[in-house]
Amino acid sequence: MAGTNNARGQIPDNAAPAPAVILVQPQLGENIGMCARAMLNCAVTDLRIVKPRDGWPNPDAVAAASGAVMLLEQAKVFETTAEAVADLQFVLATTARSRGLVKDIYTAEAAGREIHARHAKAQKCGILFGPERTGLENDDVALANAILNIPLNPGFSSLNLAQAVLLTCYSWLSADNPFAGEGLTPATDEAAPAGKEDIENLMNHLQDELENGGFFRSPDQKPTLMRNIRGFFFRADMTQQDVRTLHGIFACLTGKKSWK
According to the model, what pLDDT value does residue 256 have?
76
Residue ranges in the chain whose pLDDT is less than 50: 1-9, 177-185
Amino acid at 101: L
- Burial category of 235 from C-beta neighbours within 10 Å (exposed 0-12, middle 13-18, buried 19 and up): middle
Contact (CB, 8 A) for 84 and 144:
no
Output the pTM of the full model. Answer: 0.74
Residue 225's alpha-carbon distances to 50, 143, 216, 233, in angstroms, are 25, 14, 8, 13
According to the model, what pLDDT value does residue 219 have?
86
Q: Please, which residues have CB within 8 angstroms of residue 248's CB and are 6 or more apart in sequence?
A: none
Spatial separation of the C-alpha atoms in residues 164 and 52, rounded to whole Å: 18
According to the model, what pLDDT value does residue 184 have?
43
According to the model, what pLDDT value does residue 258 have?
61
According to the model, what pLDDT value does residue 178 have?
44
CATH of domain 20-174: 3.40.1280.10
Spatial separation of the C-alpha atoms in residues 161 and 171, rounded to whole Å: 16
According to the model, what pLDDT value does residue 13 have?
62
According to the model, what pLDDT value does residue 239 have?
87
According to the model, what pLDDT value does residue 166 have?
96
According to the model, what pLDDT value does residue 185 have?
47
According to the model, what pLDDT value does residue 2 have?
47
The alpha helices in the chain, defined as continuous H runs, are: 29-41, 59-64, 69-74, 81-84, 108-120, 138-141, 161-174, 196-212, 221-235, 240-253
Annotated domain spans of the chain: 20-174, 196-253
Q: Please, which residues have CB within 8 angstroms of residue 32's CB and are 6 or more apart in sequence?
A: 23, 26, 49, 52, 58, 61, 64, 72
According to the model, what pLDDT value does residue 235 have?
81
